[in-house]
Structure 1
Amino acid sequence: MMRGLFLALALMISGPAGAVECSEQSYDGQSFSVCRVDLTTERLQLFLRDGEGQTIGSFRRLQSLMPDKSLEFAMNAGMYHDDRAPVGHYVENGTEVMRVVQNAGPGNFGMLPNGILCVQPDAAYVIETLAFVAQQPQCQHATQSGPMLLIDGAVHPRFLPDSTFRNVRNGVGTSDDGKSAVFVVSDTQVTFYELALFFRDAIGVKNALYFDGRVSKLHAPKLGRSDLGVRMGPIIGVVN
C-alpha cells in the first residue's frame, strides 16, 4: 500500500514529460521497468570513477558528486571485475579505458556474439562486437557487454526457449536510426530468451545488449525507484 502511494506521488510531482520516459510494462506474464531516452534532446553518459580515481559504485554517490544537477535516469552498464574495472571495451568522454575484447570466454560476457553500446553526441547504437571492430565508429562513450540479446532482429542463437535458468536481468536496445535508447530491467526473474523477446516484440528494437543479472539496478525517480545493494562498476545515465 505504501509503495503504491509513493509511486503515485512520485508520478504526480515528476513535472512535465521530459525526454526520458519511464514506465512499468507487462509482457507474457512478466513485469519490466522501462526507460526510453530521446537522444535528440538528452545526453547519455557513462560514469566509472570520480576525480580521485575511486570507483563511484552507486547511484547515491554519483548524485552526491553533482550537487547542482539532477540524475534523471541511471542503470548499471556492463560487467566488471572484482575491482569493478570494466571487463570489456569502455570509453568515457572520448577516453578509452579498456580495449575491445573479441575472443570467446567464460561466463555470459564470453557467450559470443556479444556487443557494444556506442554513444555519440546525438545518437546511440547497439553493435555486435565484430561488426563494431569492422566499422570502427567514433564513440563519445562506449561499454561492451554480453551476450547480445538481439542481432538484426534475431534472438541470440544460444538462447533456449525452454530454459529454466532465471534471474533478474537488464539490458539496452536502440532504434534503427539511433535516436532512441531503451533500457529495461525485469521486475521478476526471466530467462535470456524471455528478455530478448520483450525487446523485440514489446519494445520493437532489432538490436539489444544484455548488461547483467542479479546486479541489475535502476535509478528512475519518475517510478519512485533508486536501487541499492552491491556496488556497481560502470553506470550509464542522464544528468540534467
Structure 2
Amino acid sequence: MIAEKLIRAAAALLLSATGAFAMDAPPACREIPFEGIRHSVCEVRAGADLRLFLRDESGATLGSFSRIDQILAPEGQALRFAMNAGMYHSDRSPVGLHIEGGRELAPIVTASGPGNFGMTPNGVFCVTPEGSFQIRESRSFAKERPDCRFATQSGPLLLIEGALHPRFLPDSTSRYTRNGVGVSADGSRAYFVISGGRVSFHQFARFFRDALGLQQALYFDGNISRLYAPDLGRNDFGFAMGPVIGLVEPGR
C-alpha cells in the first residue's frame, strides 16, 4: 500500500512538472510600455523548442494558430505563443528564405526591390542547430551560408549593430501595428514583439534598442501582424498567415 501511494505521488509530481505550462512557470510574454504605447514581448531562451511553421504533411498552408495546435496535439505538444514570421505572396508562400528542420523550402532573395521586404539591408532570423539565435544581413547570410535549423527572411532590418536602418525617418507618418524579432548580443535570447498600436519604423526600432537594450532586430510585417499569447489572454484572428513562428511546449 505504501509503495502504491509513493508511485502515485511520484506520477503526480511528474505530471505537474511536465504538463503544459506549469502553474508556477514564468510567463513567456509580458507587456512593456514605450512612448505611450504598450508592446507585447515574448522571450525565448536558447535551447527552447522554437519552430517555424508553413505547411502540413499534405502540403496545405497551415495559416492559423489553431491549425498549428491541431497538428501538435498528437505529439502531446501545444503552442506557448506564436506570431506571423516573415512576408508572403498572395498564395501565402514565403517571399524570401524559409528553412524548417534544416530543409530549405524557399530560397534567399538578395536583390533590392519594392516594398518593405526590398528595403535593403534586410535580414534573416536563424535558429542554429545548437538552439541559439542570430540575425544576419541577407547578403552576408547568402555568402557565408551559416547552418540553421529554422530560418526566415524578412525586411527591413530594424537595428544593425545598434544603429537604426538608414531609411527610417523620425517624423514618418507611415504608422501601423508592427511585429518583429530582436536577439541578445550573445545569441542566448530572442524577443518577439508586436506593438499595441500604430507605430513608425523609427519608433518600433527604438523600442528594441531603448526598451530592450538590443543591438540586432528584424522586422516581420505590419498591419496584418498577429499574436497568440495565452499568458496575455490574447489570440488574434483575421488574416490567414504564411510563415508562423512559435514556441512549443508540452500540451495542456
TM-score of the superposed pair, with normalisation by structure 2: 0.87
Query: Which one of the candidate residues 205, 211, 214 is aligned to 2:214?
Result: 205
**Rg: which structure is higher?**
2
Distance 2:139 2:113 in 1: 15
Q: 1:14 to 1:186 in 2, by over 3 A?
A: farther
- Letter paired with 1:101: V
Q: CA deviation at 1:39?
A: 1.4
Gaps of 5+ in 1: 1-12
How many residue pairs get aligned? The number is 226
Q: CA deviation at 1:135?
A: 2.7
Residues 37-76 of structure 1 mapped to structure 2, 5 A cutoff: 37-40=44-47, 42-67=48-73, 68-76=76-84
Gaps of 5+ in 2: 1-20
Distance 1:144 1:70 in 2: 25
User: Is the 1:89–1:143 Cα contact (8 Å) retained in structure 2?
Assistant: yes
Q: 1:221 to 1:14 in 2, by over 3 A?
A: farther
Q: CA deviation at 1:122?
A: 1.7
> Counterpart of 1:183?
192
User: Is the 2:117–2:154 Cα contact (8 Å) retained in structure 1?
Assistant: yes
> Counterpart of 1:168?
177
Q: CA deviation at 1:215?
A: 1.1
Q: Which runs of 4+ in 1 moved over 3 A?
A: none
Q: CA deviation at 1:14?
A: 6.6
% identical equivalent positions: 52
> Counterpart of 1:35?
42
Distance 2:246 2:109 in 1: 24
- Letter paired with 2:45: D
User: Is the 1:14–1:222 Cα contact (8 Å) retained in structure 2?
Assistant: no
| 3-state secondary structure, aligned to 2:194 | strand
| Cα RMSD (Å) | 1.2
Q: CA offsets per residue over residues 83-122 of structure 1, 9 Å max, x none? A: 0000001111111011110000111000000000011132
Distance 2:61 2:106 in 1: 15
| 3-state secondary structure, aligned to 2:186 | coil
Residues 88-103 of structure 1 mapped to structure 2, 5 A cutoff: 88-103=96-111
| 3-state secondary structure, aligned to 1:164 | coil
> Counterpart of 1:10?
none
TM-score of the superposed pair, with normalisation by structure 1: 0.91
> Counterpart of 2:6?
none
Q: Larger deviation: 28-37 or 81-90?
A: 28-37
User: Is the 1:93–1:141 Cα contact (8 Å) retained in structure 2?
Assistant: yes
Residues 11-26 of structure 1 mapped to structure 2, 5 A cutoff: 15-18=23-26, 21-26=28-33
> Counterpart of 1:3?
none
Distance 1:237 1:53 in 2: 19
